[in-house]
Homo-oligomer: A and B are copies of this chain.
């Protein structure tokens, strides 16, 4: 049976995602909201330089720097602000012996309250399934692809990245702020009950969306974006996209069709932060995951 002693509530891995940042600031100044008997809850703002600048990052995206090579303190190539910060934060987290993380992010896509699993351990899956059952805004995403395993959440034994939205950068959205406060309460209460050997029951099956591939905007001969996401897709994250349906409408009047052979579920549709890489969305496959009922 898992015993959780240290929980971390973090934000500001991206400095312009203010809704999560001010939620963590609120928790820091109102400790009774996050206190439970059986474990300690810490708060942390990660990239203070980017927070001050109101930008996603200063030199490079911090949430792509938590790969094993970069965070290894023997690795001497790290020179950029965020690479050095990733090493420092990794050491802090190890020393603090954090068991479980909730790392708050916002997305300009209609992601609701998306929980991105740090890994597939049974505790994570049971908690995720429980939250899907009690909170209609919650969706569960995992990234099986190793190239995505460089996020802050990956340095913790348990926990999630929380992606809430649609929220524009540098906006505190009061409606999502309230919803994520409710989510945090649900999660902390679950951990508390679990630590007291009263883990709430989870459904036996939960839908999990696995990220498969990035879809890039169509471009012209100069490399500039040559079309936009179809009106049917925009704002409809987690809806089914079937073979031969339209993905992009090009400015020259032509259409780009989804040429896959299976139904997929696009997420992060028109995420502004992915603009610089010309990523228009990620495709996911939906799996009805069976949750083990054995507590471990």
Is residue A239 contacting chain B, with contact meaning CB distance below 8 A? no
Is A175 a contact partner of B231 (Cβ separation < 8 A)?
A: yes
**Contact between B251 and A174, CB atoms less than 8 A apart:** no
- The quantity of this chain's copies bound in the complex is 2
Minimum Cβ distance to chain B for residue A64 (Å): 17
A141-170 CB mask vs B (1 if < 8 Å, else 0) is 000000000000000000000000010111
Known: A54-B275, A178-B231, A275-B18. A173 touches B270 (CB 8 A): yes
- What sequence of 0s and 1s flags, for each residue 210-230 of chain A, a beta carbon within 8 Å of any chain B beta carbon? 000000000000001100111
Are A251 and B54 neighbours in the complex by a CB distance under 8 Å? no
A171 at the interface (CB under 8 A from B): yes
Contact A231 B174 (CB under 8 A): yes
Proximity string of chain A (22-33) to chain B, C-beta cutoff 8 Å, 1 when within and 0 when not = 100110011000
Q: Once bound together, how far apart are the Cα atoms of A256 and B209, in whole Å?
A: 42
Closest to A273 in B: B170
Q: Are A54 and B276 in contact (CB under 8 A)?
A: yes
Which residues of A119-156 have CB atoms within 8 Å of chain B's CB atoms? none
Q: Which of B30, B178, B252 sits near A251, CB closer than 8 Å?
A: B30
Q: In the complex, what distance in Å separates the CA atom of A268 from the CA atom of B230?
A: 27
- B172, A169: Cβ atoms closer than 8 Å: no
Selected A-B contacts with CB under 8 Å, 25 pairs: A22-B228, A22-B251, A25-B251, A26-B251, A29-B252, A30-B252, A54-B275, A54-B276, A108-B171, A166-B168, A168-B168, A168-B169, A168-B272, A169-B169, A170-B273, A170-B275, A171-B272, A172-B229, A173-B270, A174-B229, A174-B234, A174-B249, A175-B234, A175-B235, A177-B228
Those 7 A-B pairs whose CB atoms lie nearest each other, nearest first: A108-B168, A168-B168, A170-B272, A170-B275, A26-B251, A174-B231, A172-B228
